């Protein structure tokens, strides 16, 4: 039995080395991530497969969360993939609050360091509105409810601690983000996403969406 196993390993060592290198690459350099929910709509939709740049912030020891070298600092507005210990799963959210920022949400209006967000290009989307949110030097689209005010529409002001970040989903009324899981430590960050690799339409027999192929976020 041992001789047979040794023989198999020798005969397939090139393939095994390829597998090890491939998984190491996916672990430390780049990978793709499936998005099964609409918590980042309208930016990311259900069925998107997004490219994750794992060298965006840190070079990590393969197959671990151990940072060997800080490469750059996360920026406000980044779409961040992270492994949440609180939620016990991988999440994709937008980085809103940097360490030291004072962040608040009042009836779905965002405030960063007392600066209120401005909203424009509002378009109805069922019982919600899609709008461009502009604040603190960046802008992006968000989806906010037009119905009754709920507890998730307001929080803070809160101060983001050192080496932590405040994350919110672009779909503000349907996102389990820092309002529920708290601040996200840097050690949980996996990488940054800026591109949809491909997307499958769950409502149309999982057919690929041609307009989402290599779509920029």
Q: Are 175 and 93 contacting, i.e. CB atoms less than 8 angstroms apart? A: yes
Distance CA 31, CA 83 (A): 14
pLDDT, residue 189, reads 97
Catalytic residue flag (residue 39):
yes
Confidence of residue 136 (pLDDT cuts 50, 70, 90): very high
Indicate whether 160 pLDDT > 90.
yes
- For the segment 22-61, what is each residue's pLDDT rounded down to a tens digit? 555 566 677 888 999 999 999 999 999 999 999 999 988 8
Residue 151: pLDDT band by 50, 70, 90 thresholds?
confident
Domains of the chain as residue ranges with CATH: 2-216 (2.10.109.10)
Q: Which of 28, 54, 93, 178 is catalytic?
A: 93
Sheet holding 128-135, edge to edge: 118-125, 128-135, 138-145
pLDDT tens profile 48-94: 999 999 999 998 888 788 889 999 999 999 999 999 999 999 999 99
Looking at the DSSP bridge assignments, the partners of residue 149 are: none
The predicted-structure confidence for 196-216, as pLDDT tens digits, reads as follows 999 999 998 889 999 999 999
The average confidence (pLDDT) of the chain is 89
Residue 6 has a pLDDT of 63
| pTM for this model (two decimals) | 0.90
Q: Is the pLDDT of residue 193 over 70?
A: yes
pLDDT for residue 114: 96
128 is catalytic: no
Give the Å distances, CA to CA, from 198 to 49, 55, 170, 195: 5, 21, 20, 9
Catalytic residue among 28, 39, 84, 199: 39
Q: What percent of the chain has pLDDT over 90?
A: 72
Label residue 152 by pLDDT band (50, 70, 90).
confident
Specify the 3-state DSSP secondary structure of 22: helix
pLDDT, mean of residues 120-137? 92
Residue-level pLDDT at 123:
93
């Amino acid at each position: 039995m041992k001789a047979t196993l040794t023989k198999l390993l020798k005969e397939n060592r090139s393939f095994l080395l390829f597998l090890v290198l491939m998984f190491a690459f996916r672990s430390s350099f780049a990978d793709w991530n499936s998005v099964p929910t609409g918590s980042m709509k309208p930016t990311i939709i259900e069925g998107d497969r997004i490219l994750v740049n794992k060298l965006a912030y840190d070079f990590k020891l393969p197959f671990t969360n151990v940072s060997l070298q800080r490469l750059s600092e996360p920026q406000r507005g980044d779409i961040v993939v992270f492994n949440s210990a609180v939620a016990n799963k991988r999440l994709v959210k937008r980085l809103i609050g940097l360490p030291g920022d004072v962040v608040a949400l009042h009836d779905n209006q965002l405030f960063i360091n007392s600066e209120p967000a401005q909203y424009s290009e509002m378009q109805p989307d069922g019982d919600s509105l899609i709008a461009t949110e502009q604040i603190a030097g960046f802008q992006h689209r968000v989806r906010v409810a037009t119905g009754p005010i709920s507890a998730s529409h307001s929080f803070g002001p809160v101060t983001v601690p050192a080496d932590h970040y405040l994350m919110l989903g672009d779909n503000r009324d349907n996102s389990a983000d820092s309002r529920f899981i708290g601040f996200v430590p840097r050690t949980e960050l996996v990488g940054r996403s800026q591109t949809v690799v491909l997307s499958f339409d769950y409502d149309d027999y999982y057919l690929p969406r041609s307009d989402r192929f290599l779509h920029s976020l």
